[in-house]
Each structure stands twice: as structure tokens, then as C-alpha cells.
Chain A
């Protein structure tokens, strides 16, 4: 009697450990098919919007249920990677420019060629959309949903206070205006600097736009195969960028990420901000529309500006048991009408040609600037990051630390460029 207690006790614990097994829900045999959709660029308002679209789709297709998984933005890519690599059964996944290569390498995505060819809206896609879809191995592994392209946000009220009525057209003008406004004693600075968290996406535009022959396939190479930063133009531009930091940016700028950058813009302490269109919503919430505007990125000494097109889109994992249904949902989500609605609230640029032609929203107001950038390929040149390279994932940290070291005067321009060249060798 007495000796049985511990045995019983252990049994209870073992049963407890097995609880998850019993907690399993019974699977419905018949009834609607459930598709699992993992989003990665999560934000609460965007998730709500996707849920609306899902409800709309489910109303049209009563035999399909969409189960949306929304991991927080900062962990989402890692979680999706983990899910795909442990072969969880997923049907629709949100793939980003910097994750697509990895997923394709590990054979996690379905080739969408036949689906795209049969899609009646396929011809309506922007050329840039098609290029982005074919990023890896020249094969469409995803259908892009939107683009992030940098524009220049300007606090016109602050500029007016210092007597500036024209807006900068060149990077040179941007720099000199930023410096002219700066008065450290009155806590006024010019440029909303980015020093951490993928800061290269801003500094590369400002520096490399001085170089005439950047390769569109790899922003870090010139057309004749040289390392882009090693050109004399880039060398000068790096020095000018350091000079900008010293004379138009709060010292704190080396540690600024997105939040600090945008807060400084909203508080007016830096009237220039280089950002993506999804920042529009946040700025509009906090500032009166009369106080700011967005203009196309100023051009460099080359007369051009090299813009990165960040994107994310939807793909079908190889583990999906219902790829045809998954495609049906994707083509619904990314059709011209839904895509335009989605981008209006969320912020980034839509992917259909017809949207820009028919929907005045994307060619007026602050979006005018992005429309200009999208329609003048001689001035606004879209270039690719070396997303194919196994070195790309480590680049952000190395660039951040070496650039900070340069900005703080611990290393020289030549040393910094040398270390970047070493990294990419």
C-alpha cells in the first residue's frame, strides 16, 4: 500500500508528459480543405487587412478555409525557415527578397511557371514584378506582392524656417542643405541618419549613385567587373558621406535604427529622411500633411540614382498537398484590385501596371514621387543586391560595424573600403 504511492505518482507525471498527444484535435475527414498561410512581414494592422481578404475569399469559396499564421515581424523569417526545414505542411508562405534564395537552395518552393503562364492577369504585371519573381535561377518561385523603394521625405516647414523653398534634386544639394540647416546649439540637424539595422540600404544609394557604371545585377560591381566601392568616385562619395555624418547628423546617429530615424523626422530635428513607402502611414498619423512631402531620391554625380527594390511575395512550399488551391488563393490575393487595396493601407508599391494607370492614389500625393521613380528608368535605375551570394546574410553586421568605425574616426576611408573588398572577395 505504502510503496505504491511513488509509482502512482510517477505514472501521473508520465501521463502529464503525454498530455499534448491527447490534446490533439480530431481531424475532420470531410468538409472544407484548410490551407495554412504563413505571413512574415507582420504588423497588427496588416494582419487585420489580410484577415479581411481571407474572409472575402472564403465567402467566394466555401470549400476552402485559410488558416493564417502571423509570427511577430522580428522572428517571422526565422520561424518560417524552421517550419519549412522541418517539413511542416504549409500551403502559402510569404517569401522575402533575402529569404527566397535560401528556400530555393533547400528545395522548399514550387516553381510557379505554369501557374503564371495560365493566369489572366500575368500580362498586367510590371516588368519589375516579373524580374523580382525570377530573382533566383531565372525561375518564378514567388509572386511578388509589393515593393519597397526609397524616397526622400522632407519636412518643408523646417526647411522654410531656414529660408529654403526649393527641394534638393541632387545628393550634393541634399548634403549642402543638410549642413546649412544644422546648428548643434539649437538642436537642429539636417539628415535623418541610419547607423544600425540594414543601414547599408540607405548609405549605398547615397554613395554609389556617384558611380556611372554600376551593374544592375549586383550593386557592388561595376559593369567592367570592379568592386564598386574601389572606384575613385565611390571613394570620394564615402568621404562625403562621413562628412555628412560629422556636419549634419547628431552624433547619436551611428546608433539610429528605424525608430530613431523616424522620430527625429517627426520631431523636426532632422527634416530629411530616406525611407520606404510603408513609412507613409506612420508619418501621416503623427504629422499634419501640410508639414511634409515626399520627393524622388536625389541623383548622384552620375546623373542617376541606384535604387534597390525590396520585395516580398507569396510562394507555395513543396510540402503543400493542395498547390492548385494555394495558387488560386495567391492569384486572388494578388489580383490587381485586391493588391491595390492592400497596398493603400499597408503602404508599399503595388505590382500591376494597370494599378498605376487606373488608380490615382498611386500617382498623386506623396506617391507621386514613387510613380516618378518607377517610370523613368534612365534616371532611377533599379539594381539588385547579391542575394545569391552565401556572404550576403553576414554582410549587414560587418558593414554596420565597419561603417560605424569609419564614421567615428577609428578607421580611414581607405581601410574601410579595403575591408569591404576583402569581405566580398
Chain B
């Protein structure tokens, strides 16, 4: 008989070690959010709060309209990432099936090139353009820019998923009399649902955290998003770590929920998209 492999034990230890490394910054933020302002900076450092309280969270929601920002962010991130997902389903499918190789290559170059562009260089021209159009301080306009910032990567991913699906499937559907759109809708999309979930998650996380475009393109206090609100806890007189830490914890919830529920699909979806069949 074989000896028992030590692998499971090693694996357990490594995973535990990684968990600690991954989690301790969040632990510190979480603990800070439970401390009072006087406790935050005391030396020696306190790894557990003496009098844990939710005062920072109360302050966050009462004082700074955080629930409004949270709702705004949720709406903006949900709509933009759904839109990006919808748009990239079509472009990804098209790219995957595009008959002319040269055009296909050129188009993908266009997609990859967008990833080299620093946000700053587009920020000033976008502001000027929006200012001329009267689009500054319009949530809808910001959402369009957000779609544009994630749609290239979404398309790259989506093409990967469709590449995995043999063309014989749609061909069969076509013979049954489906139009191309019908076959995409009824036959192919259901199979790639996990992949679409993955695209949605990536887009959601990116948009949820975007700061600079929101700062520049929104004006009204009641339209602001969560990253802007978090950033406003930094003033000339430093960082208000009490509300800041509470804000970071709250801001993490939606992304963790999206991730927690979606990760099964994400991994499954990416599995399909990762390698060509």
C-alpha cells in the first residue's frame, strides 16, 4: 500500500497561511471601525477594541448621507455593468465568429490597446466634451463612460467564451429556421450563462470602485457615489479613520455579495472561456 500523502496537510497549512495574509488588512480596518476616535491612535496598538461600538457606522449614515451614495453607486454599477455585459455579448460573439481574419485581428488590437490608456488622458477631453453637451452632472452620462471603460475587457472575455462553443450548435439551430439572433439568444446564451456572470462581476467591481471620473463628472451632492464619499473623508486636516474604516467595510459588502454568490458561476464561466476547444 501507498503511504498516506502529506499533500493534504501541506495544502491546508498553505491555504491557512494565505488566508491570514489576505485577511489581516481587512481585520485591521474592521477593528478600527469598531473603535472610538480616542482609541484609534493609542499606543500600544490594540488588536481588539476595548469598548466595541457601532458609533462610526451611525456617524457614517447619519452625518454623511452615506445611504444616498450607496444607492447611487448600486444603481450606477448595476445598470452600467448589465449594459456592458449586453453589449459585449454581441461584440464578443461577432468577433468569435467573424469570417475575415485580418479584420478580426485588427479589431482585437483596438480592444487591447484601450487597456494601455491612462484614465487621466481621456478625463480632461471627456469633461470638456460633456461640458459643451451639457452632460456634466448627469448620472446617465457617467454610466455611458463607465460602459466604455469596461466594454473592451468584457468583449475580450466574452469572445473567449464563445470560442469554446462549437459552431455546429448554431448551425443546427439555423437549419431549424432560427435567425442568427434567435440562435444566439435561445441556444448559445443559455450555455454561456456562467461566462456572462463572470463578465458582469468584473464590470461591477471595476465600476463600483471608480473614483476619478465620478469626482470630475458629477456635481450634485445627492448624485455622488461611494468612492467619492470615501475620498471626501480625507480633508486638509487628515483622514477621519473612524468613518473611513466604517465606509470601507460597508463599501465592500456589495462586491463581496456579488462575488460570494457569483463566484461559482465566475469560476465555471471562466473555465469555459479560458481555453479554446
Contact = CB atoms under 8 A, between A and B. Distances in A.
Interface residues of B, number: 45
Nearest to A347: B237
A23 B142 CA distance: 12
Interface stretch (A13-21, A123-131, A379-387, A392-400): A13-21
20 contacts: A5-B179, A13-B87, A16-B83, A20-B135, A20-B140, A20-B141, A20-B144, A21-B133, A21-B135, A41-B235, A41-B236, A42-B232, A43-B237, A44-B235, A79-B216, A86-B128, A258-B237, A269-B43, A287-B38, A347-B237
B167 interface: no
Given A24-B138, A47-B221, A82-B216, 8 more contacts: A2-B179, A16-B144, A20-B138, A43-B237, A44-B63, A72-B215, A259-B238, A281-B237
A24 B134 CA distance: 9
A44 B233 contact: yes
B38 A286 contact: yes
A69 interface: yes
Contacts of A86: 127-128, 131-132
B234 interface: yes
Contacts of B232: 42-44, 70, 72-73
Given A23-B138, A41-B235, A267 B41 contact: yes
B216 A259 contact: no
A246 to B, nearest CB: 23
A42 B240 CA distance: 13
Interface string A253-266: 00000110011001
Given A44-B232, A286-B37, A5 B239 contact: no
Given A2-B179, A5-B181, A20-B135, A73 B41 contact: no
Given A2-B179, A266-B41, A282-B238, A48 B138 contact: no
B124 interface: yes
Interface in B114-142: 124, 127-128, 131-136, 138-141
Contacts of A13: 87
Given A44-B240, A69-B219, A75-B231, A17 B41 contact: no
Nearest to B128: A86
Q: Is the contact region of chain B dominated by helix, strand, or loop, or is it mixed?
A: helix
Interface of A: 2, 5-6, 9, 13, 16-17, 19-21, 23-24, 41-48, 67-75, 79, 82-83, 86-88, 187, 258-259, 262-263, 266-269, 276, 278-279, 281-282, 285-287, 347
Nearest to B239: A259
B237 A282 contact: yes
A363 B96 CA distance: 75
A42 B237 CA distance: 10
Contacts of B131: 83, 86-88
Contacts of B243: 44
A422 to B, nearest CB: 29
Given A2-B179, A20-B141, A44-B243, A72 B38 contact: no
B63 A48 contact: yes
Interface in B83-135: 83, 87, 90, 124, 127-128, 131-135
A419 B181 CA distance: 67
B236 A73 contact: yes
A68 B221 contact: yes
A82 B215 contact: no
B64 interface: yes
Contacts of A259: 238-239
A46 B235 contact: yes
B237 A278 contact: yes
Contacts of B144: 16-17, 19-20
B43 A268 contact: yes
A329 B37 CA distance: 35
Nearest to A10: B90
B228 interface: yes
A21 B140 CA distance: 9
Contact of A44 (B41, B42, B64): B64
Nearest to A25: B138
A21 B144 CA distance: 12
Nearest to B129: A86
Contacts of B38: 285-287
A276 B139 CA distance: 38
A187 B127 CA distance: 49
A285 B37 contact: yes
A269 B239 CA distance: 19
Contact of B238 (A2, A5, A48, A262): A262
B27 interface: no
B5 interface: no
Interface in B233-258: 233-240, 243
